[in-house]
Amino acid sequence: MKLGIIKERKSPPDRRVVLCPKQVKKALDKYNELSIKIEHSDIRIFKDENYASEGLELSSDMTDCDLLLGVKEIPVDYLIPNKTYVFFSHTIKKQEHNRKLLQACLDKNITLMDHETFVDGKNTRIIGFGRYAGIVGAYNTLRGFGLKYELFELAKAETLLHKEDLIYRLKKQYFPPIKIVVTGTGKVAHGIIEILDGMKMKKVSKEHFLTQKYDRPVYTQIGVEDYYKRIDGTEGNKQDFYDHPELYTSDFERFTRVADILMTGHFFKKGAPVILTKEMLNSPFNQIKVIGDISCDVDHGPIASTLKASTIAEPFYGYHPGKGTEVEFDHPAAITVMAIDNLPCELPKDASEGFGEVFVEQVLPAFFNGDKDKILERATITKGGKLTDRFNYLQDFVDGKE
């Protein structure tokens, strides 16, 4: 099998790569029947010479590759017909801006797999950049807090190389005795907590967070059963919520009354109730001053202040709770919002190395063992010019009926 690592062509440029030079070497050493070609790129965090110095093949012609591997969406004109592609297509939630991409994969007889759809037998995601979204998102949120209150100015994460660089800079700053609430228990939330723990910030129980005062910064982590409750007042649980989100409503206001900063690492499913409502934000009892919406679900998402995604160039904007509109992030009445939707791009070296390690260990073997665990089968969105059974729900989307 010949694998091609393609150049990222989406704008703004993404410097990440699925396999860095040492992981290409590791994969080649592991599989004798594998060959790998790297497409020339002038934007990748690992330069062409980094690959060439390892004796690896570089080329501008990828037409002889069987499997083409990328990170972000590929412009339709660059899709090579009759190939197998793996990248983040952002199509499985019927994202309107990528309808043409999905249509093109069908028209060009492309077998499309998505990093997001690599799941195990329990439907748990195998691979992703979520951890790095959490790491960079936590840093950016605290950076925004410093700017809002003119306490300190931190370097942008994109100018730094490693997680340790972020922690080092945060540890040097003074933080008043603020309270931070972190939503979620998955990879994004774990990334957030890596930063907070790295700063030696004290973790407290949600009960103490809600009732106690502290003389130092503290944080708590809450899950689905903490920020949602059943409407009928009976006891709920995580699985019940996933099965019947319409039976739940937000129970988050108790946290808005005591938290200074919110960092989101939760998973949000369309149709689930809002977590942080406009009414909570506009309440005279609301204490939240900075929101790092790292999960960043725009368009009727769970965080009412997320009016849009922000950017790496302009990471912050203000939310006016009285008007429900955007203002400058440092407006006197504003709640400062950080809602970048491509956070791992700011730490491309760490993110690429971490992602590639998992890809080589947990995804690549499926291409050589007959897909014995059905990882590739479950991940395949299009094949033979048709949607696979698992993703047939996208047909009306493809046909333009939704």
Is 197 marked as a binding-site residue? no
Identify which of 154, 206, 216 has the alpha carbon closest to the alpha carbon of residue 185. Answer: 206
Strands 111-113 and 380-383, by their bridges, are antiparallel
Radius of gyration for the chain, computed over Cα atoms and rounded to the nearest angstrom: 22
How many residues are given for the chain? 402
Q: What is the DSSP string of 231-285?
A: TTSS---HHHHHH-GGGEEE--HHHHTT-SEEEE-----TTPPPSB-HHHHTSTT
Q: Is 288 helix (H, G, I), strand (E, B) or coil?
A: coil
Which helix (DSSP H) or strand (DSSP E) does residue 221 occupy?
A: strand 218-222
Is 371 marked as a binding-site residue? no
Please list the active-site residues. 72, 90
Is 342 marked as a binding-site residue? yes
Cβ proximity of 339 and 310 under 8 Å: yes
Is 340 marked as a binding-site residue? yes
Positive or negative torsion for Cα 337, 340, 346, 351: positive
Q: What is the DSSP letter of 394?
A: G
Residues 6+ apart with CB under 8 A from 60: 39, 40
Is 341 marked as a binding-site residue? yes
Q: How far apart are CA 218 and CA 179, in angstroms?
A: 5
Q: What is the DSSP letter of 119?
A: B
Between the alpha carbon of residue 218 and those of residues 50, 117, 186, 260, the distances in Å are 42, 36, 20, 10
Q: Which residues belong to the annotated binding site? A: 232, 340-343
Q: Which residues belong to the annotated binding site for NAD(+)? A: 232, 340-343
